[in-house]
Amino acid sequence: MLSLITFLAALAITLVVTALGHKYTRDLISRKLRYVPAAQSPAAPFVAGIGATLVALPVAGLLPLVSAATAICFGLSVGLGAAAGARDVKGRLGGF
């Protein structure tokens, strides 16, 4: 029973962290970095995702319910959020 509770807590942490990472990154790209050409480049989501994963991996090693899978999901959500934010800007600015 305890392992089920631990699994559900870890799953909840992973879902919350990935949702917040995606939302924050998408808002950051579409609002604050809309006129920055580097944020609109095709490589930006990859750089953002890999950077977020590398930052989250040491944190995952320190916390008991957070694993490397959580860090990878977080990095993936940040990369997808950066891509979505760039797509929002391109649609708003007419093909910037």
36-86 per-position pLDDT tens digit:
999 989 999 999 999 999 999 999 999 888 999 999 999 999 999 999 999
Domain count across the chain: 1
d(CA 42, CA 83): 8
- What DSSP element (H or E) covers 61? helix 44-62
**In which domain, by residue range, is 74 found?**
2-93
- 3-state DSSP assignment of residue 73: helix
By the 8 A CB rule, do 29 and 81 touch?
Answer: yes
pTM beyond 0.85: the answer is yes
11: amino acid identity, one letter: L
CB count within 10 Å of CB 28 equals 17
pLDDT at residue 2, as a whole number: 63
